[in-house]
Amino acid sequence: MRSVDAAPEDAAEARGPVVPAPDGSTRGRILDAAMRRFARSGFDASVRSVATDAGVSAALVIHHFGSKDKLHAACDEYVLAWIRDVKRDSIGRAAGGNLLQVLSAADQYAPLVGYVLRSLQAGGAVGREFTEHMIADAEVYTAEAVRDGVVRPSRDEAARVRYLVYSALGAMLLSVTLDPPQDAEDVTAALRRFMDELYLPMLELFTEGFLTTRRMLDDYLLYVPDPPDGAHAPTDGTPHHDEEEP
């Protein structure tokens, strides 16, 4: 039931889905249409609209999925399975915590990306789970990077990872929300444009930092003595109030 369906897909639809493709069944067609419609128009899209997209009646959608909520849940599951597949197929490339970037690089994943963003926007299950997965992955990768000496250790690794993921994801979400692609079509292009613009300042910040003085950090460490992880005491950065600076 994977990608066995070959003939009709190739001709009609531009590219056969690489991954958990809906089988040829009508139910699968409806599920796929629903996922794309939700990605494009948000979860307020009507059942009738996805029915039209799938070329069936609205009643049939309910017949197969029971209710709109269950259709939504089925889409969530479908998308999560798809994401799991993509991640398994591209381990390493999706490192660094920028899975969305990897996804937006290939247009075939456009509906996936759109769906994830819609779910993040609406606070749905997919958004939550996607975020937590990214945090979990990023924890592993940054731990490796710290061990290899290419990333500085943090006084609270978990908090840092969470901060980084929230910042990156949130910035993307905000960008496409405030300045949505007028084609309402591919968010991937918008995401790429966003990253082209903002990659340099991110890199700058990551390698050179932002502040020239340690004062704010030291003051904070003095004020709040113990971060959750007691392993790294604030003793490594000797808190003294002076500006070490050229």
Partner DNA sequence: ACCGCGACTGAACGCGTGTTTAGTCTCTTG
Partner DNA sequence: CAAGAGACTAAACACGCGTTCAGTCGCGGT
What is the Cα gyration radius of the chain?
22
Question: What is the distance, to the nearest Å, from the Cα of residue 242 to the centroid of all Cα atoms in its chain?
Answer: 41
Q: In sequence order, what are the residues at sequence separation of 6 or more whose Cβ sits closer than 8 angstroms to the Cβ of residue 232?
A: 153, 154, 155, 156
Tokens matching residue 209: 């930092």
DSSP letter, residue 55:
T
Rule CB under 8 A: say whether 21 interacts with a second copy: no
Look up tokens 């890199």; give the residue.
Answer: 203
Q: Out of DNA, a second copy, none, which partner does residue 223 contact, by CB within 5 to 8 A per kind?
A: none
In the bound state with DNA, the residue whose beta carbon lies nearer, of 47 and 102, is: 47
Q: Which one of residues 4, 14, 150, 230 is an interface residue with a second copy (CB under 8 A)?
A: 150
Question: 42 — alpha (psi -120 to 50), left (phi > 0) or beta?
Answer: left
Residue 225 is encoded by which pair of tokens? 């003595």
Structure tokens at 149: 């000496």
**Which of a second copy, DNA, none is residue 73 near (CB under 5 to 8 Å by kind)?**
none
Residue 56 CB, shortest distance to DNA, in Å, is 4
DSSP secondary structure, 66-102, as one string: SSHHHHHHHHHHHHHHHHHHHHHHTTTTTGGG-HHHH
Binding pattern to a second copy, positions 57-86, x when CB under 8 A? Answer: ------------------------------
Contact, 118 vs 112, CB < 8 A?
no
Could you tell me the smallest distance in angstroms from the CB atom of residue 179 to a second copy? 8
- Considering Cα of 204, then 206, then 211, then 214, what sign does the dihedral take? negative
Give min distance, CB of 18 to a second copy, in A: 23
C-alpha span between 10 and 16 (Å, rounded): 6
Cβ at position 81, least distance to DNA in Å: 21
Which positions ≥6 away from 21 have C-beta within 8 Å? 2, 3, 5, 9, 28
Interface stretch with a second copy, choices 25-33, 56-64, 82-90, 119-127 (CB under 8 A): 119-127
Find the binder of a second copy among 168, 187, 190, 191 (CB under 8 A): 168
49 binds, among a second copy, DNA, none (CB under 5 to 8 A by kind): DNA
CB of 176 to DNA, least distance (A): 23
Residues 206-245 that bind a second copy (CB under 8 A): 206-214, 216-217, 220, 224, 227, 245
101 scored as a contact of a second copy (CB under 8 A): no
Residues that bind DNA (CB under 7 A): 1, 3, 6, 26-27, 46-49, 55-60, 62-64, 67-69
List of residues contacting a second copy (CB under 8 A): 92, 95-96, 120-123, 127-128, 131, 148-152, 154-156, 159-160, 162-164, 166-175, 177-178, 180, 197-214, 216-217, 220, 224, 227, 245-246
